Amino acid sequence: MKLYNDTYFDLKGIVKLKTVIIGATGYGGVELIRLLQNHPHFEIGGLISSTKAGESIQDLYPHLAHCSYSLRELTLDTICELGECVFFATPAGISSQWAPLLVERGKVVIDLSGDFRLATEQIYQAWYGKDAAPQRWLDQAVYGLSEWFTAQIQSANLIANPGCYPTAALLALAPVLQAGWIRTESLIIDAKSGVTGAGRTAQQAMSFSEVNDNLRPYKVDGHQHIPEIERYATELAKHEVKVNFIPHLVPMNRGILVTIYADLEDQYTNQDLYELYRETYESKPFVRIVGQRWPQTKQVQGSNFCDIGFHVDQRTGRLILLSVIDNLVKGAAGQAIQNANIRMGFAEEAGLTDSPLFP
């Protein structure tokens, strides 16, 4: 394993590597802080905020009263002096400007935004409405769906962490797409997410009185995760995949449940599905196949697990897939750390083995 400038061994001889979190005051950044604090190999070298520099994280988040981190300004020299592995937990349009500069300075960058997930500048600009990173950096970025792109992640210096909805959807779809068991011209993805998926910035639509006692769809006319899902579903299936993807906001803090409807190519059974998914994910520590026990968001809350269930409807010839994740962990910070573990040669599950919170 390559040792970086800010890598050292502690008194027990354990490798330690300093990390930097850019965008540390958002929900994704705070979740990175929570998970990295107990990581056996990563240490937080510094926290960066473009809007809260000079303040302390415990003043912004009282539950972190035991932390003594002060927020630093967003400058290239500051980032480079604080650590070797850099996490961007920033809104779209920021990492596209900064990540290439850091990679050129020898840093490993893991981007939790969508700036490097899509194939071309034109597609990014059409779906995100922002200027894209230069094409050569889009080409260089490796997609960080940990269970499916492990080999590429091991040598990547720029990792595009998947979106929360695409993580849940693609982990459920990938085995049957790769096996060719479903028809790909009529995939329907019905998705529901907790409110933290919208971030921490104050919005009227996210206020308690708007969200509580309510269930609403949004971006029905086109969500920015559609091209991401289609791009990597197509790569897995080896031919073009189109999806109808409809997200919904539900009145809870965390969690995503996706229900996927697909027409089967043949008369497969639930046992066939179980064997396929068991074999596919048997060496993947964070995917749990629950079959007909119907996954629920509560059973993965606070964890890096993705639970997958399924049902073959023999009457209609349709497969129903169900997938749940915590949108802030497996859908963001947890998978980012999983990717950092893979890239740095640590155990994939290092720092991520805590059980889900229940009740």
Bond prior to 285 in cis (omega within 30° of 0): no
Distance between CA atoms of residues 107 and 97, nearest Å:
15
The rounded Cα 111 to chain-centroid distance in angstroms is 10
Residues of the chain with CATH 3.40.50.720: 7-140
Q: What per-residue confidence (pLDDT) applies to 2?
A: 46
Residue-wise over 4-21: b if at least 16 C-beta within 10 A, else e? bebbeeeeeeebebbbbb
The count of C-alpha atoms lying within 13 angstroms of the C-alpha of 277, restricted to the half-sphere facing its C-beta, is: 27
Torsion angle defined by CA atoms of residues 88, 337, 232 and 253, in that order, rounded to the nearest 10 degrees: -80
Q: What per-residue confidence (pLDDT) applies to 1?
A: 40
Count of Cβ atoms closer than 10 Å to residue 69 Cβ: 16
CATH match for 165-326 among 3.30.360.10, 3.60.20.10, 3.30.460.80, 3.40.640.10: 3.30.360.10
Residues of the chain with CATH 3.30.360.10: 165-326
pLDDT tens, position by position, 307-342: 999 999 999 999 999 999 999 999 999 999 999 999
Which DSSP state fits 140? H
pLDDT tens, position by position, 175-192: 999 999 999 988 999 999
Distance between CA atoms of residues 260 and 111, nearest Å:
27
Q: What per-residue confidence (pLDDT) applies to 208?
A: 85
Q: Is the pTM of this model over 0.85?
A: yes
Distance between CA atoms of residues 215 and 193, nearest Å:
10
Name the token pair of 51. Answer: 């809007």
Torsion angle defined by CA atoms of residues 263, 264, 270 and 275, in that order, rounded to the nearest 10 degrees: -130
Count of Cβ atoms closer than 10 Å to residue 263 Cβ: 15
The sign one gets for the Cα dihedral 343, 99, 166, 43 is: positive
Q: What per-residue confidence (pLDDT) applies to 4?
A: 54
Instruction: Name residues of the chain where pLDDT drops below 70.
Output: 1-14, 202
Return the SS3 of 221. coil
Phi, psi of 210 (to 5 degrees): -85, -35
Return the SS3 of 344. helix
Give CA separation, 332 vs 58, 88, 196, 295, in Å. 22, 11, 11, 20
Q: What per-residue confidence (pLDDT) applies to 68?
A: 86
Say if residues 268 and 181 touch (Cβ distance below 8 Å).
yes
Which amino acids are annotated catalytic? 164
Give CA separation, 261 vs 181, 188, 216, 258, 298, in Å. 13, 5, 20, 10, 22
Give CA separation, 272 vs 172, 227, 244, 281, in Å. 15, 30, 26, 14
Name the token pair of 235. Answer: 């790569």
* Mean pLDDT rounded to a whole number for the chain: 94
Beta strands in the chain (DSSP E): 7-9, 15-22, 42-48, 71-72, 85-88, 108-111, 142-143, 158-160, 187-193, 216-217, 243-249, 256-263, 287-291, 306-313, 318-325
Q: What per-residue confidence (pLDDT) applies to 23?
A: 96
What is the biggest distance separating any 2 CA atoms in the chain, rounded to whole angstroms? 63
Dihedral class, residue 213 (left if φ above 0, else alpha if ψ from -120 to 50, else beta): left
CATH domain 7-140 topology: Rossmann fold (3.40.50)
Q: What per-residue confidence (pLDDT) applies to 14?
A: 67
Q: Please provide the DSSP assignment of 78-99 as one string.
A: HHHHH-SEEEE---TTSHHHHH
